[in-house]
Chains A and B, each alone.
Chain A
Amino acid sequence: MYPHERSLVKRLENKPFALLGVNSDRDRDELKEVIKKEQITWRSWWDGGSTSGPIATKWNVTGWPTIYVLDHKGVIRYKNVRGESMDKAVDKLLKELEEEMKKGKQ
């Protein structure tokens, strides 16, 4: 998972895009090591040190990883897309955003 996410973040570093995590690890220090080692540059919420933390519970997450893709208005557009389909979904939403900005300028 990490290499794919890393390349997605790298590819879109100059675009209006963000990868955000909700992390369910138990040990914060161990996690910091992993983040360093795996070069995880994206930001994550610390969900209280378990898979049943407040955010995951509220969002009814029962499988990991669970993925939501939101557009620039904060609307949920895709769920549980992975790999190539995740990239495609993001690209589609970025295109939508670009077109909307073009229209706004006219």
Chain B
Amino acid sequence: MRSTVFGVLLLAFTPALMALDDAKEKPKTPLGAYQELAKEYQKAMDELRKEFQEAKTDEAKQKLYEKYRQNITTSAGRFLELAQKDPKDAAAVEALVWLVENAPASPEAAKAVDLLIKDHLNNDKVKALGPRVTYLPTPAAEKLMRSLLDKADGAEAQAKACNTLAQLMKSKSDIVHMIKGADDELLKQVEVMYGKDFLKEIKTWDADKAAKEAEELFERIVTKYAEAKDLAAKAKTELFELRNLAIGRTAPDIEGEDIDGKKFKLSDYRGKVVVLDFWGNW
């Protein structure tokens, strides 16, 4: 079951490289070189994903996690090398953004973030990165979003960065809880997928502190960036979750009808241990 959870994680890595198919092959330009690298990476990942779906044993899956990480590590080095050739070029922006999105736990991504902050903070591609980095809270993603929140041009970009940073903080808090309750097998899987250093890093995080900062950041969206209506509405729901649905809080009551139209309440089950399962048969 556990491997399924991570399997889902593995399947969820679908970087935004869809447009690459129409790209003309011009390997001699930096942009062409970037596209070739990205294509190669994508191809390897597609194959891995396929192998993962067909893998039957845990050992086989474990090997695939290792291959998955190897592909990321090797590619990260290549993308950074490409970006460093001419850090101000448009191809560099692509390569650096790629690193933050696809290999955020790598040392290369930390370097990429520094380069992006230095030369490209207000590039549209950097500003649009937000939703694609929230799947894994890494120091790299966090640093970039903090910079955007402080220095991005325009309230809209700042509001978006504020939202992304809040999401990162929320997931940071969740991951700490997850790792605390994890057995050796799960810890090993995290280590294989993201590296020893990242696991060490997680162990230094403070769940309550991260949750508190998430709350402050969502609050800031509601008060300071109210003109970003969708984000503000979403922030209010997030605030409700952080304040009322966190581990240790009493669950709010649920009142409604069952499938046959009969009314019942969650509080009817006080005195019992309850698993509440949001499900659907679709």
Contacts and interface: CB of A to CB of B under 8 A. Distances in A.
B19 interface: no
A74 B251 contact: yes
Interface stretch (B47-55, B153-161, B223-231, B252-260): B252-260
Contacts of A83: 1-2, 4
A45 B275 contact: no
B250 A74 contact: yes
A35 B177 CA distance: 33
B275 A97 contact: no
Contacts of B20: none
Contact of B272 (A16, A25, A51, A85): A16
Given A67-B277, A81-B181, A75 B271 contact: no
A5 B280 contact: no
B259 A22 contact: no
B277 A20 contact: yes
B256 A86 contact: no
Contact of B259 (A44, A55, A60, A81): A44
Interface string A84-103: 11100110011001000000
Contact of B280 (A17, A25, A73): A25
Contacts of B177: 79
B66 interface: no
A78 B174 CA distance: 10
A80 B181 CA distance: 12
Interface string B46-71: 00000000000000000000000000
A35 to B, nearest CB: 7
A24 B271 CA distance: 26
A81 B247 CA distance: 12
Contacts of A89: 181
Contacts of A71: 273
B267 A78 contact: no
A1 B279 contact: yes
A74 B237 contact: no
A40 B241 CA distance: 29
B249 A76 contact: yes
A98 to B, nearest CB: 10
Given A45-B257, A46-B256, A77-B247, A94 B273 contact: yes
Given A25-B280, A75-B251, A20 B274 contact: yes
B276 A20 contact: yes
A31 B274 contact: no
Contact of A59 (B178, B264, B270, B278): B278
Contacts of A41: none
B260 to A, nearest CB: 8
B235 to A, nearest CB: 11
Interface in A18-53: 18-26, 28, 30-32, 34-35, 43-47, 51
A20 B2 contact: no
B271 A20 contact: no
A15 B27 CA distance: 66
30 contacts: A17-B275, A20-B275, A20-B276, A24-B279, A24-B282, A28-B259, A35-B259, A44-B259, A55-B254, A55-B256, A55-B278, A59-B278, A60-B237, A65-B277, A65-B279, A66-B278, A67-B275, A68-B251, A71-B273, A72-B270, A74-B267, A76-B245, A76-B246, A76-B249, A79-B174, A79-B177, A79-B247, A80-B174, A83-B1, A85-B181
Return the 3 tightest CB-CB contacts between A and B, nearest first. A83-B1, A24-B280, A60-B241
